[in-house]
Amino acid sequence: MYHEIDLDNVNLSLQPPTEEPARQYYFMAKCLKWVRDFTKKNGRFPKSCVTTFGCQMNARDSEKLAGILAKIGFVETEKENQADFIIFNTCTVRENANMRVYGHLGQLTPVKKKNPHMKIALCGCMMQEPEVVEKIKKSYRIVDLIFGTHNIYKFAELLSACLESDRMVIDIWKDTDKIVENLPGERKFPFKSGVNVMFGCNNFCSYCIVPYVRGRERSREPEAVLKEIRQLASDGVVEVMLLGQNVNSYGKTLDNPCTFANLLQQIEEIEGIERIRFMTSHPKDLSDELIEVMKHSRKICRHLHLPVQSGSTEILKKMNRRYTKEQYLDLVRKLRKAVPDISLTTDIIVGFPGETEEDFEETLDVVRKVRYDSAFTFIYSKRTGTPAASMEAQVPSDVVKKRFDRLLAEVQNISAEVCAVHTGKVMPVLVESVNDHDQSLVTGRLSNNLLIHFPGDKSLIGKIVNVKLNECKGFYYLGSRTFDQSENF
């Protein structure tokens, strides 16, 4: 396995190899040498800080960045202003994600003045937008390294260039068809892990920037996914979260096509994996085959995140979502028939251009009909370059704000009722951590994704135990352990 490569055995007097991932291991060895020199000179290891914005895919990418930094000898710190190397893995899905990055850079400006040796890097989705890179080049000279989403696998090479240069290093690719396997990665949790199954998106929902910054859809080979999950299982991981912008279209672009349902069935066979989650599912691609597999699975969690975005067929059409309100509701009916205890969550955008009061009422109607366990609600954010940005009838912000508040109240009332239906049941819980506020409690997750707190200690972390759901507190439960059921899910 590549991640067992000993960097001390890499011969740095040779030219760097051209093939991947060997090339990146060569540059890791070079960075390791830099780290050793730093340590000798300063009497301490250099510290790194990885800050992540955005979705689970970005979080997974950050684990890969952290894995490389750890392999070359950086010590992790959570305190940005104490780090020698800071990297922001950015998101640009809504304007406020961008604002937060500029906010952090503003705060770091005086810190870097005091510590000029500090290196600051930016990567991720925001960097795929040329206007952003221009702005940083002009107004944020404290930045030392910029790269994008397509060449993240080159991190070691870019870091090596950055450590050896006093100039701003910039490397952005427009697109890629490449997937580089076998680079080192870290995991935030020992017992659960995200696993990429596909990258990019071909859907071009008219409001969304993701297809422009993440490029065209490409799936990993099923064997590569299975190999990674087998390795995770042998490292003690019991829960995997399969990640992709649209997992339901997994495998379509492979030379030997494989459906997502089929991939799930193969993952189900892997011993040691007890729970399988996935996100995100696009309603238009959710197949009967997948519903059938979910119905019979022992391991796929009873939870589906199924973004609706709007309840109005008219708006859905303008959003280029390619389903109607009725088709969405039919799909929900079909899912609930096959998997009656399934918990459904969603994403909703309020204030898409042209949204009328009637359109918004249709969204409320879907919320009332589906009765989601929870919903992420977003105010529409105009993204330059997307078709929706140039649509007429952008909705005034005071109207949007009022609709947003009404939607939020409705979603919260319903989800408090829906979540409470399990009160009194005994359910399997994967214990994730000791409770932040009360050290006598642990916090775990139900198959349906709800959190529960109950008496226990850290020896339970990573274990699946049966817990009685005594009291629902809106979005989480308080419970107590029971020992009379077999603990096997």
Binding site for ligand SF4 (CB under 6 A): 201, 203-205, 208, 210-211, 245-246, 282
Q: Which is nearer to ligand SAH, 48 or 381 (CB)?
A: 381
Task: Please pick, from the candidates 30, 71, 94, 468, the single residue that binds ligand SAH as defined by CB under 6 A.
Answer: 94
Query: In residues, how long is the chain?
Result: 489
- The answer to whether 283 and 328 are in contact (CB under 8 A) is yes
Which does residue 58 touch among ligand SF4, ligand SAH, ligand F3S, none (CB within 5 to 8 A, set by kind)? ligand F3S
User: Which token pair is 141?
Assistant: 């000279």
Closest CB to ligand SAH among residues 27, 380: 380
Residue with tokens 């932040």: 436
Query: Cβ-closest residue to ligand SAH?
Result: 347
Strands (E), 256-313: 275-279, 303-305
Burial of residue 55 (number of CB atoms within 10 Å: 0-12, 13-18, 19+): middle
Choose the contact partner of 381 out of ligand F3S, ligand SF4, ligand SAH, none; CB within 5 to 8 A by kind. Answer: ligand SAH
Q: Which is nearer to ligand F3S, 91 or 400 (CB)?
A: 91
The single residue listed with the structure tokens 């950055």 is: 162
Return the closest-CA partner of residue 91 out of 119, 140, 128, 121.
128
Token pair of 100, please?
């937060």
Q: Would you say 200 or 311 has its CB closer to ligand F3S?
A: 200
Residue least distant from ligand F3S (Cβ)? 54
> Considering only 181-189, 207-215, 225-233, 258-266, which stretch makes contact with ligand SAH by CB under 6 A?
207-215
- Closest distance of CB 53 from ligand F3S, Å: 7
For binding to ligand F3S (CB under 6 A), which residues are involved?
54-55, 57-58, 91-93, 125, 210, 213-214
Rounded to a whole number of angstroms, the minimum distance from the CB of residue 201 to ligand SF4 is 3
- Closer residue to ligand SAH in complex, CB, 78/392: 392
How many other CB atoms are found less than 10 A from the CB of residue 296? 11
Q: Tell me the closest approach of the beta carbon of residue 29 to ligand F3S, in angstroms.
A: 30
**Which of ligand SAH, ligand F3S, ligand SF4, none binds 349 (CB below 5-8 Å, type-dependent)?**
ligand SAH
- Is 245 a residue that touches ligand SAH (CB under 6 A)? yes
By beta-carbon proximity to ligand SF4, the closer residue of 92 and 447 is 92
CB of 214 or CB of 220, closer to ligand SAH:
214
Cα separation, 91 vs 54, in Å, equals 5
Query: In angstroms, what is the minimal distance from the CB of 21 to ligand SF4?
Result: 27
74 binds, among ligand F3S, ligand SAH, ligand SF4, none (CB under 5 to 8 A by kind): none
Task: Give the single-character DSSP code of 420.
Answer: G
Tokens found for residue 345: 């969550």
| By CB under 6 A, residue 52 contacts ligand SAH | no
Bridge partners, residue 348, by sequence = 309, 377
160 burial (CB, 10 Å; 0-12 / 13-18 / 19+) is buried
Taking Cα atoms as reference points, which of 476, 448, 454 lies closest to residue 467? Answer: 454
Between 335 and 374, how does the x/- string for binding to ligand SAH read (CB under 6 A)?
------------x-x-------------------------
The token pair at 393 is: 């009838």
Tokens of 346: 């969603």
Residues in contact with ligand SAH, counted by CB under 6 A, come to a total of 17
* CA Rg value for the chain: 24
Taking the CA atoms of residue 47, residue 52, residue 56 and residue 57 in that order, the dihedral angle to the nearest 10 degrees is -80
> 452 and 470 in contact (C-beta within 8 Å)?
no
- List interacting residues with ligand SAH (CB under 6 A): 93-94, 207-208, 210, 245-246, 280, 282, 307, 309, 347, 349, 378, 380-381, 383
